[in-house]
């Protein structure tokens, strides 16, 4: 059978309707009024009118921040530089589990754990730095990578790792922005003794987390006084640096 069907025709082009400016059209009226106003203004108006902004600004409240002389306080929960916390007797809360390093999406944290050693120092013992079985022997945070998301502090099972409000983390070289354990460790406060030293006699690890240890005991103080020379040089015994890290490192 012959194909007598009509071949398909392209659709007819529809006329485009363009809006016609009218007296009530805002755009048309604005354009016409602006051009009309400019035409009415004298030629000296534009340069003089520009200074109007300058004069008006002189009487506004000054917003200049006097930084770094007067650093502006942050919001209380601002995510700043990290801190490795201590128990009330000075032992470290970090148990070297590496959960913070695994949680970090930017791969900014390096942790190496080690066993606490209760062998007497005189017999080659390496000392006790935390109440549990292990402690964080190496701890580094690379602030060139850190995005301050806070996932590390959420992952920490012992609340060893928290974030401070310190935001002064700029520096002029890359190496100084890799913070080590001695920079991150919280300063030794009143009632504390710097690790290593034994746990409070009669207390277990869980007692530390239940808040039963409130300060270093006399027995611990005696031990530290007797072994002051021996513990110097053991891994992790460096005194903590001041917490205002970037500013203090620039001053030193
Ligand atoms: S800071 Fe917390 S999560 Fe990280 S290794 Fe120490 S205990 Fe584990």
- Tell which residue, 95, 157, 98, has the closest CA to residue 130: 95
Task: Domains for the chain: give ranges and CATH numbers.
Answer: 82-251 (3.30.70.3270)
Ligand 1 pocket test, candidate residues 84, 96, 135, most atoms within 8 A of CB? 96
User: Which two tokens mark 84?
Assistant: 């490795």
* Residues in Cβ contact with 27 at an 8 Å cutoff, skipping those fewer than 6 apart: 21
Q: Is this model's pTM higher than 0.75 or not?
A: no
Query: For the chain, first and last CA: distance in Å?
Result: 100
Q: Is the separation of the CB atoms in 65 and 126 below 8 Å?
A: no
Question: How far apart are the CA of 239 and the centre of ligand 1, in A?
Answer: 20
- The tens place of each residue's pLDDT in the chain, 252 residues long, gives 444 455 666 555 665 566 555 444 444 444 444 555 667 888 888 888 888 888 888 889 888 888 989 988 999 999 999 999 999 999 999 999 999 999 999 999 999 999 999 998 888 888 999 998 999 999 999 999 999 999 999 999 999 999 999 999 999 999 999 999 999 999 999 999 999 999 999 999 999 999 999 999 999 999 999 888 887 666 654 443 433 343 333 333
Q: Residue 185: CB within 6 Å of ligand 1? A: no
Q: Residue 100: CB within 6 Å of ligand 1? A: yes
Tokens 């490192």, residue located = 249
CA distance 39 to 24: 22
Q: Is the separation of the CB atoms in 152 and 100 below 8 Å?
A: yes
């Amino acid at each position: 059978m012959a194909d007598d069907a009509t071949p398909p025709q392209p659709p007819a082009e529809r006329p485009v309707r363009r809006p016609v400016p009218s007296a009530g059209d805002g755009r048309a009226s604005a354009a016409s009024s602006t051009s009309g106003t400019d035409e009415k203004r004298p030629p000296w108006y534009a340069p003089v009118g520009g200074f109007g902004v300058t004069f008006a600004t002189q009487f506004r409240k000054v917003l200049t921040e006097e930084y770094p002389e007067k650093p502006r306080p942050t919001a209380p929960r601002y995510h700043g530089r990290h801190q490795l916390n201590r128990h009330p007797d000075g032992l470290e809360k970090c148990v070297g589990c590496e959960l913070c390093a695994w949680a970090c999406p930017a791969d900014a944290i390096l942790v190496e754990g080690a066993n606490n050693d209760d062998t007497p120092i005189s017999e080659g013992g390496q000392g006790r730095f935390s109440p549990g079985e292990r402690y964080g022997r190496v701890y580094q945070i690379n602030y060139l990578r850190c995005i301050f998301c806070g996932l590390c502090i959420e992952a920490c099972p012992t609340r060893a790792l928290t974030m401070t409000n310190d935001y002064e983390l700029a520096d002029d070289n890359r190496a100084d922005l890799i913070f080590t354990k001695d920079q991150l460790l919280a300063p030794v406060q009143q009632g504390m003794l710097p690790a290593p030293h034994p746990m409070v006699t009669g207390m277990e690890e869980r007692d530390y987390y239940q808040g039963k240890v409130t300060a270093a005991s006399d027995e611990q103080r005696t031990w530290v006084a007797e072994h002051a020379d021996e513990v110097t040089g053991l891994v992790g015994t460096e005194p903590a640096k001041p917490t205002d890290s970037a500013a203090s490192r620039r001053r030193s």
